[in-house]
């Protein structure tokens, strides 16, 4: 589980993490680096605040993006 004080995810933060399936980020998150999930071949779902522009992320097309309101 991510800490509720988390405000940013750097580029390549999860790069190459081939065991990730699902990630959920807190409402406090303000930014995600463009290539934060590069090489995450098993990632299926990311839940993140709606303030994050999902179009700015470089992720596989099969990853479901759930925006938190």
CA distance 20 to 30: 21
Q: pLDDT tens, 2-43?
A: 999 999 999 999 999 999 999 999 999 999 998 999 999 999
- The pLDDT value recorded for residue 30 is 95
Eight-state DSSP code of residue 56: G
Strand 8-9 to 31-32 pairing: parallel
pTM of the model: 0.87
């Amino acid at each position: 589980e991510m800490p509720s004080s988390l405000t940013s995810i750097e580029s390549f933060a999860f790069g190459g993490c081939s065991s990730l399936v699902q990630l959920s980020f807190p409402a406090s998150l303000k930014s995600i680096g463009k290539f934060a999930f590069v090489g995450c071949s098993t990632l299926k779902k990311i839940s993140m605040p709606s303030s994050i522009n999902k179009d700015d992320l470089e992720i596989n097309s099969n990853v479901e993006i759930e925006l938190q309101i």
